[in-house]
Structure 1
C-alpha cells in the first residue's frame, strides 16, 4: 500500500516544522508508557462484543503533573466534560463553557505550533492574517455547533467528535481520536483497550510510536478500529487537522504525508464550514521498513 501512495511533499514539510516546534509533546517511555499487548481481531461495526486481546490498560503510566501544568493540556481537559455523549441530543453550551473554549484557543495560539500554522495558512490565503480573525476561524471550524443526527438538534461539533467522542443511536462509537481523552476514560474505567490493529495487517506497532491503530470499547460499545496520535500536544492536532481541512473544499480529504519517521494518511471530512471528523492512519514507520 505504501508504495502506491503519493506523498504530499509541501504538506509534509509544513507538518515537520510543526513536529519540530511541538515542545509540549510528551516523550514515550518517559512522560508516558503504553502496553500494546495482543493484536485485536475483526469486529463488525455495531457489535457490542470484541475478544479482549489486552488484559491490561493501554496506558500503564502518564505524567499527570504535565497534563495539569502545561496550559494547553489543562485547558483542553477542561473541555472534555462539556458535551452530551449521544448524537441527536441537543447540546446546551453555557457561558462558562464558551469561556473555556476561548481559553483553550488563547492557550494554543501562544504556542510556536499555532504561530507557525497561522503564518503558513495566511501565506496561502487560507486564513486571515489578523490573529483575532484567525481565532474566530478556528472557533468556527472546531466549536461551532451543527446538526449531525437527523433530529434537527444542534448536537455536535468538530471538537466534540474528534477529541471527545460520540455515540450514534446507542450502537456505534464515532470519533474519539485523542489520546488524552482515551487515557482519562481508561482511568475512569469507561474505556477498555482490546488490542492494537496492525498496519495493513503486516507489521506490529512499537511502544514508542506516536500514532496507533487500535480497538476498544467505550461505555459498553465497541469501536472495531480507531486511530490516534499518542503523546502529541492538543495544539499539534488542531494545527495539523486545520491545515488539511483548509487546503481542500472536498467533502473528504485524504493526504499522505511523511512526518518524522511516520508515513501517514491524514483523513479530514468536512461538515459544511466545520470539521466533521479527522484522524491519522498509520501506513508505515521508516525505522522498520
Structure 2
C-alpha cells in the first residue's frame, strides 16, 4: 500500500480519530484513480521557507515538472475540470449558475458515484445515520453541500460562494489575499496557464528523499494575489477528496480532526458556513 511518503513527527498533541482513520484508509486503498509520482506526474519542490511571511521567492521553476495529461481525460477528472471555469473568483461578486453549469455539476457527481470510493463513502455515511440510503437522495445531499450558493462576505447581499468553489477552485478577497484553493488539479492547470507562481514549500513539511509525496504545504501567488500557506493533497483523485471532505463534514464535531491515513498522520480542517453550508475543508501536517 503506497503511503504519503512523509515521516510522522510524533506530535505529542496528536490524537487520531480511530473511526475516521479506518474509513479514510479504506478510501485510500480503494482510490483506483490516484496518480503515482514518477509515473503520472513529477513535482519539483526546490527551496523552502521557515516563516510564511518571508517574501523571497524560493522557487524559480514551476511546482509541476510534468503531468501525464491522459489522466485528465479519465471520467472523474474530465468532469471535475469542466467545473473550474464556472465561478467568479472575487468574493462579493454574485455567482450565477447557468443550466449548462448545473448539468456539469450533476455530471461530476454522477461520475464520482460510479467509483468504489464514493460508493464506500455513501455506505459509511448511511451506517452512521447521516444520509439516506437511496443513491439519488444522497446525490441531492451532495449537491446541496457542495454546490449550493451562499454569502461568504458580510458586506454583500449576493450569493458569492459555495463549498466547491472555495475548496477546489479558490477565491480571492480584496487585492492581496487568496483563500481556499486546496486542489492540486486546479493548481497544475492554473500554473500551466501562467496564473500561478509557486514560491516554495514550508520547511518541516518536505517529504523524505525519493518518497511518494501526496501532501504538500506551500506558498504561491495566484493572479498576483498571495496564498502565504496552503496545504493540499497531491495526485489524489477528485472522488477521494470529495468523499473524504463529505464524511468529515457529517461526522466530525471539531474544526480540526486528527486522523491517520495509510500510516500518515494528517490534521483535517473543516469549517461550516451556517447551518447547511461548507465553508472550507483541507488537510495539513501535524505541528512539530
> How high is the TM-score relative to the length of structure 1?
0.92
Q: Is 2:286 aligned against 1:283?
A: yes
SS of corresponding position for 1:182: helix
Aligned match of 2:33 in 18, 24, 27?
24
The residue number in structure 1 matching 2:5 is none
Could you list the per-position Cα deviations for residues 16-38 of structure 1 after superposition, in whole angstroms to 9, with x for gaps in the alignment? 00000000000011100000100
Aligned match of 1:259 in 258, 261, 276?
261
Offset at 1:3? 2.1
> How high is the TM-score relative to the length of structure 2?
0.92
Q: Is 2:62 aligned against 1:53?
A: no
SS of corresponding position for 1:105: helix
Could you list the per-position Cα deviations for residues 65-96 of structure 1 after superposition, in whole angstroms to 9, with x for gaps in the alignment? 1111x100000000000000100000011000
* Superposed counterparts of 1:97-176, under 5 Å: 97-150=101-154, 151-176=156-181
Q: Structure 1: how far apart are the matches of 2:244 and 2:167?
A: 13
Aligned match of 1:182 in 172, 187, 192?
187
Aligned match of 1:77 in 78, 81, 88?
81
Offset at 1:168? 0.7
Aligned match of 1:15 in 1, 16, 24?
24
Q: Structure 2: how far apart are the matches of 1:2 and 1:137?
A: 36
The residue number in structure 2 matching 1:197 is 202
Contact 1:198 1:205 in 2 (8 A): no
Q: Structure 1: how far apart are the matches of 2:19 and 2:203?
A: 28
Q: Which runs of 5+ in 1 are unaligned?
A: none
Contact 1:79 1:101 in 2 (8 A): yes
Q: Structure 1: how far apart are the matches of 2:92 and 2:140?
A: 26
The alignment covers a number of residue pairs equal to 275
SS of corresponding position for 2:34: coil
Offset at 1:253? 2.0
The residue number in structure 2 matching 1:94 is 98
RMSD: 1.6
Q: Structure 2: how far apart are the matches of 1:282 and 1:29?
A: 23
